[in-house]
Amino acid sequence: MNAADYRSFADDWERRATIRTRPRRVLENDDRLIFPVCRQPLVLSATFVEHCSPSRDFVLVQSFYKFLHDVVIFETEIVDKTARRIAKNRFCLPFPLACRYDAMTVVVDEDYHALVALDFLQQTVAMTGIQPLDLPGQIELSRALPAAQALAPTHLRDAVELIAVAIAENTVTHDVAAFSKDDSVKASIRGLMADHLFDEGRHAQFWTNLVRIYWQAACPADRDSIAEVLPTFLRHYLTNDLQKTFDLHLIEQLGVSAAIRDALRADVAALDFPITRQHPLLGNIMGFLHHSGLLQTPSVARALDAYLPESRRPT
């Protein structure tokens, strides 16, 4: 795809964007979960099940708070920033006016998602009486993006930002889809995720198209330079260090003995997702790299093969 082939999704946004079409969702006071247990392995550990079951809802509520807080950081501090610069033509990569218009709809959507996240956070506090613990000031992307940019030539830092945001938007779409289908969770929260998915599917395609436009026009030397920094980005983006730190903080809040805390810490330490082709997010990332055209570039394929020797690229 080149810039001349780009087609705006403005009409689709007017018809389907959640800020245009969805009423406010209200949290139900029912017996369903506020956060899926499958997304918080701590509560599934043998130690927790045996000794800490009464604290399950507390841990799930705090995990929901972190999820909502992460959404706010992701949407307002990262995606919003990149989309806004594109919309205002302040990105070093030039894009046609139709792209810039669509970028501004992404800004509107993402800020609305952050607003809804804060609304659900307030509703949850009011319903449960559980105040949020101190929440992390960063998400994985907050670290991965500057780490990759620091290794890139100055003139390519905006391009690295574009590709990093596109990777993140494509992976979050699949993550939200899984959340929206979990029947153990309150209907309003599944609805929140489904609303988010409506917008994120459009966003994922938008960012993929922008990367394809950029990549087709990029010179071979620039492509090779970006290929070199992709493994650094993935190493920081796919880590679960921040989640582990949060879980360890949660353990400190539980009214259990020191011995049980030690056992819970060991359970958390054992939770790891090696960055191989089995990593739960890697398939989505490889799919994006394939559809955007990056994976067909020999230097990108070589960099990923060296970093992920077990990876199996889509054909």
Residue 78 has pLDDT above 90, yes or no: yes
Residues contacting 202, CB < 8 A, separation 6+: 9, 12, 13, 16, 17
> Region 79-89: what's the mean pLDDT?
96
pLDDT band per the 50, 70, 90 thresholds, residue 198: confident
Q: Cα separation of 84 and 100, whole Å?
A: 9
Q: Which of 49-58, 86-95, 173-182, 234-243 has the lowest mean pLDDT?
A: 173-182
Q: pTM of the predicted model, to two decimals?
A: 0.92
The confidence score (pLDDT) of residue 314 equals 40
Asked if 61 and 128 touch (Cβ cutoff 8 Å), the reply is yes
Distance of CA 173 to the CA centre of its chain: 8
Q: Which amino acid is at 265?
A: R
Check: CB of residue 169 under 8 Å from CB of residue 200: yes
Structure-block tokens of residue 209: 């198209």
In the chain, % of residues over pLDDT 70: 94
> What's the confidence (pLDDT) of residue 313?
44
Judged by DSSP in three states, 188 sits in helix
- How confident is the model over 103-120, as a mean pLDDT? 96
Rounded distance between C-alpha atoms, residue 222 and residue 224, angstroms: 5
Q: Average of pLDDT values for 75-88?
A: 96
DSSP state of 33: B
Would residue 279 be called left, alpha or beta, if left means φ above 0 and alpha means ψ between -120 and 50 degrees?
beta
The pair of structure tokens assigned to 12 is: 């689709």
Token pair of 16 as six digits: 């389907």
Asked if 171 and 284 count as a contact pair (C-beta separation under 8 A), the reply is yes
Q: Please give the average per-residue pLDDT across 135-147, as a whole number.
A: 94
- Would you state the pLDDT for residue 240? 87
Q: 248 Cβ partners below 8 Å, 6+ apart? A: 265, 268
Q: What is the mean pLDDT of residues 149-169?
A: 97
Q: How confident is the model at residue 280 (pLDDT cuts 50, 70, 90)?
A: low
Q: What pLDDT sits at residue 308?
A: 78
For the chain, how many helices (H) and strands (E)?
14, 0
Q: Which residues, other chains included, contact 94 with Cβ-Cβ below 8 Å and sequence gap of 6+?
A: none
pLDDT for position 239: 87
